[in-house]
Amino acid sequence: MQSGARSTSFPPEVRERAARLVQEHRGQYPSPWAAVQSIAPKIGCSGHTLLKWVQLQEVEGGAGPGAPQAEQDRIKAPEREVKELRRANEILRSASFFCTGGARPRTEEINAHLDQHRDPYGVEPICKVLQVAPSAYCRYAARCQPP
């Protein structure tokens, strides 16, 4: 943590109330920043933090530029799913030789494939796509480690 940085986390209710205070008293100050600077010490946060809360509240209320969090989440969910599907396709392509015979490959072949591809994809995703228990590979990897 940086020197001078606070580890205090403010509950959402405090953030909302502080941002609302700035909105309500904005007219009493020559600028929005002056209102923020006046109210921030009373809340116990920095002016920049309070300004960020005010801006987020404006976005959520539709008064500020940007997309509300719900809209951002709605957009990110399919993007995340597409990323996971692309990764699964890459894993399947790398393991395509497994699928040619129809029978499940030998454990040694699966372990060798995992050894070869664990760095770019990770053990868990490969095991999930190939429907292999990660614990079996972990036991194998532990046996291969020097004592």
For 48, other C-beta atoms within 10 Å of its C-beta total 12
Give me the domain span that covers residue 99: 78-144
The pTM (predicted TM-score) of the whole model is 0.45
Task: Give yes or no: residues 121 and 82 share one domain.
Answer: yes
Is residue 51 one of the residues assigned to a domain?
yes
What are the b/e assignments for 63-101, b being 16+ CB within 10 Å?
Answer: eeeeeeeeeeeeeeeeeeeeeeeebeeebeebbeeeeee
23: CB partners within 8 A, 6+ apart: 54, 57
CATH number at residue 32: 1.10.10.10
Residues 84 and 138 in one domain: yes
Q: What is the pLDDT of residues 29-66, one digit of tens each?
A: 898 889 999 889 988 899 899 888 888 887 777 666 66
In a domain, 110, yes or no: yes
Residue 73 lies in a domain: no
- pLDDT tens across 8-35, in order? 688 888 888 988 888 888 888 898 889 9
Residue 121 CA to its chain's centroid (Å): 18
